Amino acid sequence: MGVINMSKNIKQVHPNYLLCYKVGAFYHSYDKDVYLLSDLFEYKIKRVDANTLASGFPQNAVSKVMAKLEREKINYIMLDTKNNYDIEYKEDYGNLNKYNEKFEKARESVNYKIRVEKISEALLKTHNIEKVRKIENIINEKEKT
């Protein structure tokens, strides 16, 4: 069974944990968890297939990631795919866990950033200065109020 399929099974058992899978020199996360990684650390999100999002970080950043997750009180599990998905690191904050709360905020924030990036890319492709002026006017009007 591949890492992505295994991650879906493990997520069903641990829905309120940020799950990271060590694959070679990187840790990867999938689906819901990518929103937290992107929002907290500005890691990029990529689409693996039609149904799967992925994000990750190098192994040498694991202590930085764990420290921030601990400050934010987000449950996490880091698993080693080479060693039969053994748990390398785990933190459980019980009732203090803020995974769901932080996930909702992260999803909203990341989706907003994606929308803004799409608008920016469209404007850059069209070179339509009139659209840019209209947007600038809207922004300037909002700043006056």
Question: Residue 1 contacts by C-beta under 8 Å, 6 or more apart in sequence?
Answer: 9
- Domains in the chain with CATH codes: 1-145 (3.40.1170.10)
CA 125 to chain CA centroid, nearest Å: 27
- Token duo for residue 136: 């600038």
Q: At what angle do helices 32-41 and 62-72 cross, to 10 degrees?
A: 100
- Token duo for residue 95: 């009732």
Q: For 43-87, how does the pLDDT look when each residue is reduced to its tens digit (9 = 90+)?
A: 999 988 888 999 999 999 999 999 999 999 999 999 999 999 999
Q: For 83-114, how does the pLDDT look when each residue is reduced to its tens digit (9 = 90+)?
A: 999 999 999 999 999 999 999 999 999 999 98
CA 123 to chain CA centroid, nearest Å: 26
Q: To which H or E segment does residue 19 belong?
A: strand 18-23
